[in-house]
Structure 1
Amino acid sequence: MATFKNKYLKLFKNWFILILVIFVVWMLFFDANSWLIHHELNSEIDDLENEKEYYKKEIEKDNKAIKELSTEEGLEKFAREEYYMKRDNEEIFIIEYEDSLKTK
Structure 2
Amino acid sequence: MAFLKHPFFKPFKNIFILILVAFGIWMLFFDANSLLIHHELNSEINDLEDEKEYYKKEIEKDNKALKELSTDEGLEKFAREEYYMKRDNEEIFIIEYEDSLKTKK
Q: So what's the TM-score if we normalise by structure 1? A: 0.93
CA distance in 2, matches of 1:5, 1:36: 35
Deviates more, 1:62-71 or 1:6-15: 6-15
Alpha-carbon deviation of 1:15? 1.1
CA distance in 2, matches of 1:98, 1:47: 39
Alpha-carbon deviation of 1:71? 0.3
Moved over 4 A (4+): 2-5
The equivalent of 1:21 in structure 2 is 21
**Per-residue displacement from partner, 1:55-84 (whole Å, max 9, x unpaired)?**
000000000000000000000000000110
- 1:82-97 matches, within 5 Å, as 82-97=82-97
Q: State the AA in 2 paired with 1:103.
A: T
CA distance in 1, matches of 2:67, 2:73: 11
Aligned length: 103
Instruction: Percent identity, please.
Output: 84
CA distance in 2, matches of 1:14, 1:7: 13
Are the structure 2 counterparts of residues 79 and 12 from structure 1 closer, same or farther at C-alpha, using a change threshold of 3 Å?
Answer: same
Alpha-carbon deviation of 1:102? 1.0
Alpha-carbon deviation of 1:101? 1.0
Are the structure 2 counterparts of residues 10 and 99 from structure 1 closer, same or farther at C-alpha, using a change threshold of 3 Å?
Answer: same
Q: State the AA in 2 paired with 1:94.
A: I
Gaps of 5+ in 2: none
CA distance in 1, matches of 2:67, 2:54: 20
Q: So what's the TM-score if we normalise by structure 2? A: 0.92
Are the structure 2 counterparts of residues 5 and 65 from structure 1 closer, same or farther at C-alpha, using a change threshold of 3 Å?
Answer: farther
